[in-house]
Amino acid sequence: MRAVLLTQSLTPVHVEQLAGQFALPDMTLPFLGSRRKMPMHRIVRLEGEGNYTLFHFSDGSHLMVSLTLKKLEERLSDKVFVRPHKKNIINLLYLEALHPENQQLSVSLVNGDRVEVSRRKVSLFMKQVRGFQEELLLLSANPFASSQVVA
């Protein structure tokens, strides 16, 4: 049961910078009869609970909304959000380690959460993680790629 550590966890400053480079917009969520804008890059994980979804944010706060995980998945950026299991969607910006154990893969997130990866989705999930890491390498090689201004 050896954890495979990924590249060093991203600091909040790095997450903010990458959110700009990945063009992650704010997300408007229904909340107690009103709507609240939440920065998409601050979402660590979404957990489905029937017709409701529990948001886990980077500051440790939680928010329950009356939308299904499927509806929310359509509104999230597929550049950083992946669905490793039918009950969870995770933000790859907060991925800390992979845990392969006896034919089962799980991941740990920087907030301490651990999420299982469905056996049917392991290969697609690993492909998404590798693609995301390659994108991070490209962005770190040229940190001003998306912020250059043409005069």
**pLDDT (tens digit per residue) in 47-81:** 999 999 999 999 999 989 989 999 999 999 888 99
CATH superfamily of domain region 4-141 = LytTr DNA-binding domain (2.40.50.1020)
**pLDDT at 144 exceeding the cut of 70:** no
**pLDDT (tens digit per residue) in 77-117:** 888 999 999 999 999 999 999 999 888 999 999 899 999 99
Q: What is the model's pLDDT at position 87? A: 96
Question: In this prediction, what percent of the chain has a pLDDT beyond 90?
Answer: 48
**Top-confidence residue, 149 or 48:** 48
Q: What is the model's pLDDT at position 10? A: 64
Q: What is the model's pLDDT at position 149? A: 33
Phi/psi-derived region of residue 33, left when phi > 0, alpha when psi is between -120 and 50, beta in every other case = left
**Top-confidence residue, 59 or 4:** 59
**pLDDT at 8 exceeding the cut of 60:** no
Q: What string of H, E and C letters represents the secondary structure of the chain?
A: CCCEECCCCCCHHHHHHHHHHCCCCEEEEEECCEEEEEEHHHEEEEEEECCEEEEEECCCCEEEECCCHHHHHHHCCCCCEEEEECCEEEEHHHEEEEEEECCEEEEEECCCCEEEECHHHHHHHHHHHHHHHHHHHHHHHCCCCCCCCCC
Q: What is the model's pLDDT at position 31? A: 72
**Residue ranges of the domains in the chain?**
4-141
